[in-house]
Structure 1
Amino acid sequence: MTGLLSAPTLAALLLASIRSAAWLLMSPPFNSKAIPGAVKALLSVAIALPLTPRLAGQLPDITVATMLVSSVEQVVVGVALGFLTSLVFAAVQAAGDLLDIFGGFSLATAFDPLSMAASSVFGKFYQMLCTTLLLVSGGYQFVMLGFTQTYTTLPLNGTLSMETLSDLVTGGLADLFVSALQIAGPMIAVLFCADLALGLLSKAAPALNAFSLGFPVKIFLTLSLAGIAIAVLPGAIDGLTDRAVRMMMELTG
């Protein structure tokens, strides 16, 4: 009991909980406001508690100054890891936003009280579907497992490489757009062909006023073929989960 309540053990638990709490605030599906803050706080402690005996030997001399500096470092590490994770899964919502733009649904925006921002129809729907698939398939457990490994690759007394972080953020943004196009690509191609057909029809028969049918036709095609894009989401989320874990491992060395 004395070993469990020793100063190095409590300090390691505090610093590890700070990193996990910062990560939970940024990483999907835990960053949603639908999860109460008290639950996130308890979950951060639950993540750090089994690792505490091994982390106790990683701390420098325990002083007020070193604890403050280490706390700030753990916040930076947790936020960076959470941002990279959210950047990877943002591709799903970006794919929904592309469908809204090309399908004519971008005009129908609504205020989302969870994200405190306006969101379009398919963008919000794809985000909720991604969160549901992560929870149902157990993908969140794989992401959490990858996060717990960062305590080994980047100890509590380790230093985060800002150069590696900048490279991963740059590459993550490129992967975000590529993944979004891969998910929404079939629907965008169909909608582009519909625009092309309407343009040819307006040239062949101007009296039909084909462009007045543009919005109804594109909305009908988007709703009819939405299942094509939704069908690829499980495989896409599986690949995104693996990508998120690998990015966390690369960031922590």
Structure 2
Amino acid sequence: MELTFAEIAAWVGQFMYPLTRVGAAALVAPVFGNNLLPLRIRVFLGVVLTVAVMPAVGEIPQVNPLAPEGLLVAGQEVLVGLIIGFVLALALNTVVIAGESVALAMGLGFATMVDPQTGMSVPVISQFLLVLATLLFLIVGGHLMIVQLLAESFSAVPVGALSLERSDLWGVVSWGTQMYAGAVLIALPMVTVMLVINLSLGVMTRAAPQMNVFSVGLPMTILVGGVLLPVLLFPALPTRMAGIWQEAYDTIGALLGMPAVAGG
């Protein structure tokens, strides 16, 4: 049996192009893109996810992967995967912004640790909320929704048929405003309580100037914040994050022309 280079290249492209989209999404998506996962495990997950979504891929153009046209198709697949993973990563990192606001209000802004997922220093409250949000993401089946999004993306945007405009790319970046808005809603109860306490301490300091506001105020804000954190913030976290994830799924669907899915 004789095989030509064009036939071999076409067979390689049948798997390489879907792998490129899935791998790009898994590189930045929550859970799959965690830096704590060894590189071999992440590559293995990318291959497994590609095999899982192959029945939904559809027809793939017969383009030589090493030709300029093939490289262009691969670049488009990377862009689609990054859009899916990046928006979901922004949604999950909403709790990091919320945790920073709460930590600053409590006086724990100086207590930071390295986030293993991003390699950046974040307050300990942000890291704790990120762990909770990741567990919630797994509980509601967010990782399965990522697989569903990838499978449906091949129907909405076939391989080599991407047609994004500048406004679409700007929509991905501007979705960061939704992340900050969601963080404000999550942290608002705690920040409000801390503001009332700080105002009360200001009035007390004005009435009794000899009182050291730092020796009294800092322990009080940390104590009250630690007590009220599981009372005000934790119960509302699942509902807030479900709404944020739903907005993220809707945004991805609008950008790629996919049908609306239930993300929460």
Q: TM-score, normalised by structure 1?
A: 0.89
Contact 1:18–1:74 under 8 Å retained in 2: yes
Change (3 A) 1:78 1:119: same
User: Aligned-residue CA RMSD in angstroms?
Assistant: 2.2
The one of 196, 199, 208 aligned to 1:205: 208
1:26 equivalent in alignment to 2:28: yes
The one of 242, 253, 256 aligned to 1:249: 253
Structure 1 partner of 2:198: 195
The one of 78, 88, 96 aligned to 2:91: 88
1:218 equivalent in alignment to 2:210: no
**Alpha-carbon distance, 1:182 to partner:** 0.6
Contact 2:83–2:172 under 8 Å retained in 1: no
- Tell me which amino acid in the other structure corresponds to 1:238: A
1:141 equivalent in alignment to 2:144: yes
Task: Give the distance between the partners of 2:42 and 2:136, measured in 1 at CA.
Answer: 20
Secondary structure class of the residue paired with 1:212: helix
Query: Residue deviations 1:201-248, cap 9 Å, x none?
Result: 112222333453121111111111111211211112222222221121
Contact 2:36–2:116 under 8 Å retained in 1: no
Structure 2 partner of 1:35: 37
Contact 2:53–2:150 under 8 Å retained in 1: no
Task: Give the distance between the partners of 1:54 and 1:123, measured in 2 at CA.
Answer: 38
Change (3 A) 1:167 1:61: same
Structure 1 partner of 2:131: 128
Q: TM-score, normalised by structure 2?
A: 0.85
Change (3 A) 1:209 1:53: closer
Contact 2:96–2:122 under 8 Å retained in 1: no
Task: Give the distance between the partners of 1:121 and 1:177, measured in 2 at CA.
Answer: 19
Contact 2:10–2:62 under 8 Å retained in 1: no
The one of 176, 180, 188 aligned to 1:185: 188
**Alpha-carbon distance, 1:114 to partner:** 4.2
Structure 1 partner of 2:59: 57
Q: Which stretch shows the higher mean deviation, 137-146 or 15-24? A: 137-146
Structure 1 unaligned residues grouped into runs of 5+: none
**Alpha-carbon distance, 1:139 to partner:** 2.3
Contact 2:56–2:151 under 8 Å retained in 1: no
1:163 equivalent in alignment to 2:163: no
Contact 1:103–1:222 under 8 Å retained in 2: yes
The one of 226, 229, 235 aligned to 1:231: 235
1:67 equivalent in alignment to 2:58: no
Question: Larger helix proportion, structure 1 or 2?
Answer: 1
Task: Give the distance between the partners of 2:107 and 2:200, measured in 1 at CA.
Answer: 17
**Alpha-carbon distance, 1:179 to partner:** 0.3
Q: Which stretch shows the higher mean deviation, 113-122 or 49-58? A: 49-58
- Tell me which amino acid in the other structure corresponds to 1:165: L
Change (3 A) 1:232 1:13: same
Contact 2:112–2:122 under 8 Å retained in 1: yes
Structure 2 partner of 1:78: 81
Query: Residue deviations 1:10-30, cap 9 Å, x none?
Result: 423211111111111111122
Secondary structure class of the residue paired with 2:139: helix
- Tell me which amino acid in the other structure corresponds to 1:28: P
Query: Residue deviations 1:130-151, cap 9 Å, x none?
Result: 1122123322212331232111
